[in-house]
Amino acid sequence: MNKKAMYALSYGLFVVTARVGQKDNGCITNTVAQVTTQPNRITLAVNRTNYTCDMIRESGCFTVSVIAENAEFGLFKRFGFQSGRDTDKFAGYDAVRRAENGALIVTEGTNAWISAKVEQEIDLGSHILFVAEVTDMDTLTETPSATYTYYQNSIKPKPEKKEKTAEGKTVWRCKICGYEYVGEELPEDFICPLCKHPASDFEKVTA
């Protein structure tokens, strides 16, 4: 079995937002897809440890802002590489407006938004799969949507090539966010402290 076949799947990128009480939060995901047209339904899989996942379960609805090719890396850092449990991701951020369902729409570096109401949630272990009916939506710009491949090639900053640190130690880099771990072997159960992806998403940095 060649696991590389999975890399042939293409994905979009999205900021998924939810609101509970006065608290707004959001996270980055690549797992939004339209699954039926009548009624118009989408699915969304969210890692169950994400605070946004708890908030969607509690509020029963969410809004998806579709990330476009003009998005800056800062958008990914703000919504992807920190947790809403200990930070207010929307603090000092004004590129937003509120959707009818209460969740915030991100209006910068995005080209459309879709609000949806959860109909079913399916427990997939690491992730919760939400099946949701679209309740409102609109386009924002004509900029093409950013695919995951586009993010990897054109949005994520290119790291400097270095095989070893100045002290001669091996460097492992997270393919998702660029976080670097220094050590001869990367522990199997290592979790990226920035983006929470597992050791399998790290690569040994080669010159």
Q: Contact residues for Fe ion (CB under 5 A)?
A: 174, 176-177, 179, 192, 194-195
CB of 11 to Fe ion, least distance (A): 17
Name which of 136 and 201 has its Cβ closer to Fe ion: 201
Structure tokens at 119: 């109909």
Name which of 81 and 130 has its Cβ closer to Fe ion: 81
What 114-117 contacts at long range (C-beta under 8 Å, 24+ apart), as own/partner pairs, is: 114/32, 114/42, 114/63, 114/64, 114/66, 115/61, 115/62, 115/63, 115/64, 116/41, 116/42, 116/44, 116/61, 116/62, 116/63, 116/64, 117/60, 117/61
CB of 104 to Fe ion, least distance (A): 24
Task: Please tell me the distance from the alpha carbon of residue 59 to that of residue 121, in angstroms, as a whole number.
Answer: 13
Name which of 105 and 177 has its Cβ closer to Fe ion: 177
Name which of 51 and 62 has its Cβ closer to Fe ion: 51
Q: C-alpha 158: how far from its chain's center?
A: 19
Name which of 86 and 142 has its Cβ closer to Fe ion: 86
| Enclosing H/E stretch for 115 | strand 110-123
Name which of 117 and 175 has its Cβ closer to Fe ion: 175
Identify how many contiguous H helices and E strands the chain contains and give both numbers: 3, 12
CB of 178 to Fe ion, least distance (A): 7
DSSP string, 13-67: -EEEEEEETTEEEEEEES-EEEEETTTTEEEEEEETTSHHHHHHHHHSEEEEEEE
CB of 194 to Fe ion, least distance (A): 5
CB of 203 to Fe ion, least distance (A): 11
CB of 82 to Fe ion, least distance (A): 12
